[in-house]
Amino acid sequence: MSENKGVEPLNLPGVKAILAVASGKGGVGKSTVATNLAVALSRAGQRVGLLDADIYGPSQGTLLGLPPETRPDVQNDQLIPIEAHGLFCMSMSFLASSKTPAIWRGPMASGALQQMLTQTAWPNLDVLVIDMPPGTGDIQLTLAQRVPVTGAIIVTTPQDIALLDARKGIEMFNKVEVPVLGIVENMSAHTCSECGHKSAIFGTGGGDRIAQEYQVPVLARLALSLETRLASDAGQPIVIDQPESTAAREFTALSAEVASKLLMQEPASAPTISIVDE
């Protein structure tokens, strides 16, 4: 016997486009990419929101340089997003102590994500960037089920183990009919500050292989940058801290590619997903 359970989409009025920044595994720099991409889009004149959807390990508050005690105001039962570096932000780190882990089962975490999405008083936005948690679990599926995502980008490193998990992310978005706009190959190479020698620490060609396999473009190849790491640790996105640096220019170029891809997408509607028990 089969039972179909339809899922109603969440309504986000005033948000023109929703961009999911995802990765198949942790440790590939996805959150740093999401932060700098969002700031670069804002600096290009777009009105940008940033949602930290990593319920278990939120990091956007730190990356944006916000104090641990940062809390949103509440008006008419709605959370007022925190403004930082030109972005309108919401994160679980604003709603819980930084020393208290979220020890929740999947449905509880998914419910928290839905509350942050729908109970945040987002202003009119050109794009809402969602920093996804790594993997393809409950939170990712909730987003794909309930939110009209315009497109997704997959962040990976060139090494084979990261590519295996990146494939899973692409397959998940394909199955729920969310367009994958392209691949961001992070930590592509390191340039020695002393001699200028380039070292492909995590290998080469990984982003190209997966892009060719799934017929999507490589949107950017971002260098492994000490400056980016230092700026992130200091809560100053590199595109603001050192706007003329090579790393900042790479993020600016990525933002232009992403903005162009988003404009080419049709207005999205959340897919109707049926859960079938046999």
Q: How far is CA 158 from CA 23, 30, 103, 200, in A?
A: 13, 14, 32, 9
Quick one: DSSP state of residue 93? G
Contacts of 132 (CB under 8 A, 6+ apart): 20, 21, 22, 23, 30, 53, 54, 139, 140, 143
For residues 52 and 94, is the Cβ–Cβ distance under 8 A? Answer: no
> Sorting pLDDT into bands at 50, 70 and 90, what band is 55?
confident
Buried residues in 239-278 as b, exposed as e (16+ CB within 10 A) = bbbbeebebbebbbebbebbbebbeeeeebebbebeeeee
Label the pairing between strands 82-84 and 18-22: unpaired
Ramachandran area for residue 29 (φ above 0: left; ψ -120 to 50: alpha; else beta): left
> Sorting pLDDT into bands at 50, 70 and 90, what band is 35?
very high
pLDDT at position 84 is 96
Mean pLDDT of the chain: 82
More confident residue, 236 or 142: 236
> Sorting pLDDT into bands at 50, 70 and 90, what band is 278?
very low
Considering the chain, what percentage of its residues have pLDDT values greater than 70? 78
> Sorting pLDDT into bands at 50, 70 and 90, what band is 190?
low
pLDDT at position 275 is 44
Q: What SS3 class is residue 179? A: coil
Quick one: DSSP state of residue 120? B
The count of other CB atoms within 10 Å of the CB of residue 6 is 9
Please determine, for residue 191, whether its predicted confidence score (pLDDT) is greater than 70: no
Q: 32 φ, ψ to 5°?
A: -65, -40
Please determine, for residue 276, whether its predicted confidence score (pLDDT) is greater than 50: no
Please give the Cα distance from 21 to 25 (Å, whole number).
12
Average pLDDT over residues 192-213: 64
pLDDT at position 272 is 47
Which token pair is 97? Answer: 């102590």
Structure confidence by residue, pLDDT tens digits, 209-259 = 888 888 999 999 998 888 998 999 999 999 999 999 999 999 999 999 999
Quick one: DSSP state of residue 92? G
Average pLDDT over residues 176-199: 74
Contacts of 112 (CB under 8 A, 6+ apart): 55, 92, 102, 104
Q: Report the CATH architecture of 18-264.
A: 3-Layer(aba) Sandwich (3.40)
Residue labelled with tokens 């987003």: 143
Q: What SS3 class is residue 19? A: strand
More confident residue, 273 or 121: 121
Structure confidence by residue, pLDDT tens digits, 154-167 = 998 886 666 777 88
What does the domain layout of the chain look like in residue ranges?
18-264
For the entire predicted model, the pTM comes to 0.86
> Sorting pLDDT into bands at 50, 70 and 90, what band is 40?
very high
Find how far residue 247's CA is from the centre of its chain.
18
Find how far residue 272's CA is from the centre of its chain.
23
Please give the Cα distance from 182 to 244 (Å, whole number).
25
